[in-house]
Structure 1
Amino acid sequence: MKAITDVSDRSIAQLVSLAGRSAVVTGGGRGLGKAIARRLAEAGANVLIGDIDADLAREAAADLDASTPGRVIGTAMDVSRTPSIEAAGALAVETFGAVDIWVNNAGIFPAVPVAQMTDELWDQVLSVNARGAFAGSREAARRMIASERGGVIINIVSTAGFKGVAPGLTAYVSSKHAVRGMTKQMAIELAPHGIRVLGVAPTYCVTEGNQLAAAQNPDRTSTAEDIPAMLTSRLGRVGVPDDIARVVLFCASDMAVFMTGSTLLVDAGEAA
């Protein structure tokens, strides 16, 4: 068994620093993913941004590469296709030498009532949100085991991984419950290799992605009337991407070195 290092003698600056480490962030072209990539790179990590929109990934990478200490690159990545995930893992190792942090952030959230849900759409949601997180974790685990450096896998879950949310989100809620369970089980299996697995469960945050989805689907089943967190929170405002990114940075850093298997709620007290 590879024991986790005791970091009690390190300063706060040393604990937060990701200098010398490399990360992959899926769905990192905008929104939560780009905010996460920014904080990891700001902490010194080299970061590969993967996104189904290759141009978006490269634009985000160019923006962050010019403004953060870490090196940032972007590439096309479709998490519903295992070869695409494997290619991104290979590129990260080729470019940076290793994969130390892998963030499974990519996801979709169509709102369709149960009676209108097709098999094809159900399969698509589970393919991206659940199987995509599994395949990303598997690629990360293989790379981390081979390097014998250990590492951290972080799954972006959702408050939907703890409860039902709103009409039309059966597939999404099911997929996020799956990812939360996956996080627990993979933590057990990968701990002997020095690999930590954590989940981060955001409440609703304003992002380009969900704003675009709302604009393109004015008749969406799930609206602010169904999801109060879209309007405010117990802390007085709606979440923004960096609220989540800071918690992911904590999980990725040695501040959280003795944590694995947990899913951290970032919900402004929604579950209270």
Structure 2
Amino acid sequence: MPYPFTDVSAHSLADLLSLAGRRAVVTGGARGLGKAIALRLAEAGADVVIADLDAGLATEAAADVSARFAGRAKGVHMDVTNSASVASAAQEAVDAFGGVDIWVNNAGIFPAVPVLQTPDDTWEQVFAVNTRGVFNGSREAARRMDGAGGVIVNIVSTAGFQGTAPGLSAYVSSKHAVRGMTKQMALELAPQGIRVLGVAPTFVPTEGNIAAAAAGAAALEAQGIDPSSAMPVMAQSLIGRIGTPDDIARVVLFCASDLSVIMTGSTLLADAGQTI
């Protein structure tokens, strides 16, 4: 079976980076890292669907993206834990823009609860969003890319490579699973011309991350655990500064573009040296 990946060696750098004519979906895209990704994809020329549990916020983010760049943007509701919701949002993308070429699985949660106090429903919710949500999104994306090819980018986290702060057992486990899923989906989807890559960010200060870190610190403190023990993991850097959402968005843009056409199945560490 021929694998439909074109040799782009003769293309200019501008052409390799351009996403003109491509249609992208970013889950959890209404704010923070997801919005930063949507902005960079739009700047590169893609039409972007911003999918989020908060439909109103997604619509506002899409309006902002459209105002900044020439491409089209649309906000839609999506609950990544609900396969019907994901399928409906994916179809909205097809109806609005004619197809899906790029899908970024960004939505995620990370409640901090010590192992011995972790209730079943917390564990299940983390896996429902972080792992099953990635599967749901990837499956619907691949169904709509079938025959035309495309790129799926999974936001993994450095937690997919190592243990992190106290209280994040469910989160670390879910992200290790996503890293494995990235490899397996790359294997299965290559014959359809679909590349699957992961991006593993270090901690970056976004609205969601800051709120989750504060809630996690309070939960750890209530259990008699010093919450400052988590901070070296979040702040460790070899480049002299903490990362920003756009630092990660630029790596996602690389993955989504033809600059990375030789790559599939890998997870790129965007970690400022944290995992060395």
Name the TM-score, length of structure 1 as normaliser: 0.96
Q: Distance in 2 between matches of 1:256 and 1:192?
A: 17
Task: State the 1:228 CA deviation.
Answer: 1.3
How do 1:87-236 and structure 2 match up within 5 A?
87-145=88-146, 148-216=147-215, 219-221=218-220, 223-236=227-240
Partner of 2:4: 3
SS at match of 2:59: helix
> Which whole-Å CA distance do the structure 2 matches of 1:240 and 1:223 have between them?
22
**In structure 2, C-alpha distance between the alignment counterparts of 1:243 and 1:227, rounded to whole Å:** 20
Are the equivalent residues in 1 in contact too, given 2:166–2:229 (CA < 8 A)? no
Residue 76 (structure 1) shift: 0.9
DSSP-derived class of the 1:199 partner: strand
Letter in 2 for 1:230: M
CA distance in 1, matches of 2:267, 2:108: 17
Aligned to 2:59: 58
Match of residue 49 from structure 2: 48
Which residue number in structure 1 is paired with residue 223 of structure 2? Answer: none
- 1:255 matched to 2:256? The reply is no
Identity level (%)? 66
Aligned-pair CA distance for 1:95? 0.6
Map of 2:244 onto structure 1: 240
The code of the aligned residue for 1:191 comes to A
- What amino acid maps onto 2:157 in structure 1? S
CA deviations over 1:5-43 (Å, ceiling 9, x no partner) = 010111110000000000000000101000000000000
> CA–CA distance in 2 between the matches of 1:266 and 1:216?
25
Pick closer, same or farther for the CA change 1:149–1:126 going to 2, 3 Å: same
CA distance in structure 2 between the aligned counterparts of 1:220 and 1:70, rounded to whole angstroms? 43
- Offset at 1:214? 3.7
Work out the CA distance in 2 between the residues paired with 1:238 and 1:267: 10
The answer for the alignment partner of 1:70 in structure 2 is: 71
Aligned residues of 1:229 and 1:238 also touching (Cα < 8 A) = no
Runs ≥4 residues deviating over 4 A: 215-218
CA RMSD for the aligned pairs? 1.3
8 Å Cα contact 2:203-2:235 kept in structure 1? no
Alpha-carbon separation, structure 1, partners of 2:114 and 2:142: 36
Could you tell me how far 1:220 is from its partner in structure 2?
3.5
- Per-residue CA deviation, residues 180-203 of structure 1 (Å, 9 max, x unaligned), is 000000000000110000000000
Gapped regions of structure 2 (runs ≥ 5): 221-225
Aligned to 1:166, what secondary structure does the other structure show? coil
Structure 1 residues 66 and 126, CA, compared in 2 at 3 Å: closer, same or farther?
same
Query: Structure 1: which 5+ residue stretches go unaligned?
Result: none
Once residues 68 and 256 of structure 2 are traced to their aligned partners in structure 1, the CA distance between those partners, rounded to angstroms, is 20
